[in-house]
């Protein structure tokens, strides 16, 4: 079956090319490489009553009721939270209908109110309703998790953000001048491996191929850098493949194990895992693309090792909200590390106002937000924390062409007048 790979542009942020397989009249599943930090990232308060009770890693998560309403915190006004939940649920359903999406899940926190909702289908063919606790590919939100792990190692003195990349990973052009900090804030200049024609051809030839990190890095190493280290900003998935390799070189351990031990378990995230690198948690919804006007299942179009530490995480809206809550409140990183993470470089993309260490800054209907977003074959994601408001939001969509930023803003407008 013939695969035709083409590049898809993303409006919110200049990101990696995407892989999509769409032959004329073919039902081949599109394959897509990860990108889009501009989709946003949210540090949300910890849920006060998440409808989906997460199961231990490797066990099925107990599904929440479809279209679950707000669960108020003990100090919240239950009636007010219920009214807010109804409006958020209606806005989410309207957004899914307006974009003709398979489905979307959302988590919203505002003061004492906690909303977990979903609309549409987890599996279109089986007509399975999408549940609020369902699992999605999180895409580039993975980068915030990896940056958090690097900063934990920095806090312990295992590495310095100013260490040269060549100290740990060889063969990269300018590796002696590139620092770990420049990897994390995309100022390294390293060529994005997912924009490599060689990588696109290799995925087209064998979508199920399992990739080693060094093989992905080699696609970048063979290309001229975009600019000298520190002389510009260019979002590149290669940066976080290299960062993951550095973590393993420094610790002598697999990064999936370290993420679980140092980040996922301390934050209480039992529905999150690095796909292809550890056992899956049951509950991943089907992801879709469009080919010749037809909906095509792209859930497993490419082996997840092709994204690895640049975009391989699977998670739920509730888990992502909890992660950013712990991050924001100092439950994962100390103040010095949080200050490093929120030191912004100028990105100049539409809708974004800077990029830190695995963290994007963006304007929204309720003010400045910090967070990250992602796009990966079959899925788009966004998770934000509103800086001026006690509010946070995560939206996950199971169609790779979904405009997740618009859905986020639609829900945030509801919060303007709760």
CATH of the domain at 314: 3.40.710.10
Q: Is residue 19 part of a domain?
A: no
Q: Is residue 32 part of a domain?
A: no
Most trustworthy range by pLDDT among 90-94, 362-366, 411-415 = 90-94
pTM (two decimals): 0.84
Cα–Cα distance, 105 to 194 (Å, whole number): 27
pLDDT of residue 111: 82
Most trustworthy range by pLDDT among 29-33, 50-54, 155-159, 200-204 = 155-159
> Per-residue pLDDT for 55 more than 90?
no
HSE-CB at 296 with a 13 A cutoff on CA atoms is 24
> Per-residue pLDDT for 60 more than 80?
no
Percentage of residues in the chain with pLDDT exceeding 90? 70
> Per-residue pLDDT for 147 more than 70?
yes
Q: Is residue 23 part of a domain?
A: no
Strands 391-397 and 103-110, sheet pairing: antiparallel
Query: How many structural domains are present in the chain?
Result: 1
pLDDT band at residue 321, thresholds of 50, 70 and 90? confident
pLDDT of residue 389: 82
Q: Is residue 344 part of a domain?
A: yes
pLDDT of residue 61: 32
Residue 61 domain boundaries = 37-416
pLDDT of residue 11: 21
Residue 366 or 175, more confident: 175
Q: Is residue 67 part of a domain?
A: yes
Catalytic residue flag (residue 316) = no
pLDDT of residue 15: 30
Which run of H or E residues covers position 397? Answer: strand 391-397
Q: Give me the sign of the Cα torsion angle 194, 199, 202, 208.
A: negative
Overall average pLDDT of the 276-283 stretch: 94
Q: What does the angle CA 297 – CA 19 – CA 145 come to, to the nearest 5 degrees?
A: 90
Looking at 16, 140, 188, 315, which residue is catalytic? Answer: 140
Overall average pLDDT of the 114-120 stretch: 96
Cα–Cα distance, 144 to 184 (Å, whole number): 9
pLDDT band at residue 110, thresholds of 50, 70 and 90? confident
pLDDT of residue 31: 31
pLDDT of residue 64: 34
Residue 335 or 349, more confident: 335
pLDDT of residue 57: 37
pLDDT of residue 392: 84
Mean pLDDT of all residues in the chain?
Answer: 83
Q: Is residue 10 part of a domain?
A: no
pLDDT of residue 351: 55
Overall average pLDDT of the 265-287 stretch: 96
pLDDT band at residue 245, thresholds of 50, 70 and 90? very high
> Per-residue pLDDT for 136 more than 80?
yes
Q: Is residue 22 part of a domain?
A: no
Q: Is residue 359 part of a domain?
A: yes
Overall average pLDDT of the 243-256 stretch: 98
Q: Can you say whether residue 85 is alpha, beta or left, with left for phi > 0 and alpha for psi between -120 and 50 degrees?
A: alpha
Cα–Cα distance, 314 to 303 (Å, whole number): 13
Overall average pLDDT of the 254-272 stretch: 97
* Residues 103, 121 contacting (CB under 8 angstroms): yes
Residue 389 or 204, more confident: 204
Cα–Cα distance, 108 to 48 (Å, whole number): 11
Cα–Cα distance, 395 to 406 (Å, whole number): 10
> Per-residue pLDDT for 278 more than 90?
yes
pLDDT of residue 352: 61
């Amino acid at each position: 079956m013939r695969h035709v790979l083409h590049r898809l542009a993303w409006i919110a942020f200049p990101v990696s090319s995407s892989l999509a397989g769409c032959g004329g009249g073919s039902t081949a599943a599109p394959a897509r490489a990860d990108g889009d930090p501009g989709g946003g990232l949210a540090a949300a308060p910890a849920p006060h009553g998440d409808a989906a009770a997460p199961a231990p890693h490797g066990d099925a998560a107990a599904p929440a009721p479809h279209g679950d309403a707000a669960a108020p915190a003990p100090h919240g006004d239950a009636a007010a939270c219920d009214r807010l939940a109804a409006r958020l649920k209606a806005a989410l359903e309207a957004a899914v209908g307006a974009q003709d999406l398979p489905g979307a899940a959302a988590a919203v926190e505002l003061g004492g109110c906690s909303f977990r909702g979903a609309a549409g289908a987890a599996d279109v063919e089986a007509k399975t309703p999408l549940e609020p606790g369902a699992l999605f590919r999180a895409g580039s939100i993975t980068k915030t998790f990896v940056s958090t792990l690097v900063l934990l190692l920095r806090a312990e003195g295992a590495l310095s953000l100013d260490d040269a990349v060549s100290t740990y990973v060889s063969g990269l052009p300018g590796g002696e001048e590139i620092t770990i900090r420049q990897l994390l804030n995309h100022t390294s200049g390293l060529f994005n491996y997912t924009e490599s024609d060689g990588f696109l051809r290799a995925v087209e030839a064998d979508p199920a191929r399992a990739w080693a990190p060094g093989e992905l890095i080699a696609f970048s190493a063979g290309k001229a850098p975009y600019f000298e280290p520190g002389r510009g900003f260019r979002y590149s998935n290669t940066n976080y493949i290299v960062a993951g390799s550095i973590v393993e070189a420094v610790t002598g351990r697999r990064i999936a194990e370290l993420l679980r031990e140092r980040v996922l378990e301390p934050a209480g995230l039992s529905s999150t895992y690095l796909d292809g690198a550890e056992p899956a948690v049951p509950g991943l919804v089907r992801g879709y693309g469009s080919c010749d006007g037809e909906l095509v299942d792209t859930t497993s179009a490419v082996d997840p090792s092709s994204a690895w530490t640049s975009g391989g995480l699977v998670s739920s809206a509730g888990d992502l909200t909890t992660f950013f809550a712990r991050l924001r409140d100092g439950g994962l990183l100390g103040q010095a590390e949080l200050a490093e993470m929120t030191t912004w470089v100028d990105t100049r993309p539409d809708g974004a106002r800077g990029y830190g260490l695995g963290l994007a800054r963006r304007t929204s209907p309720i003010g400045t937000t910090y967070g990250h977003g992602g796009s990966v074959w079959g899925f788009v994601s966004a998770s934000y924390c509103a800086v001026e408001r006690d509010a946070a939001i995560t939206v996950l969509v199971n169609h790779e062409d979904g405009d997740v930023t618009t859905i986020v803003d639609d829900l945030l407008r509801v919060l303007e007048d709760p």
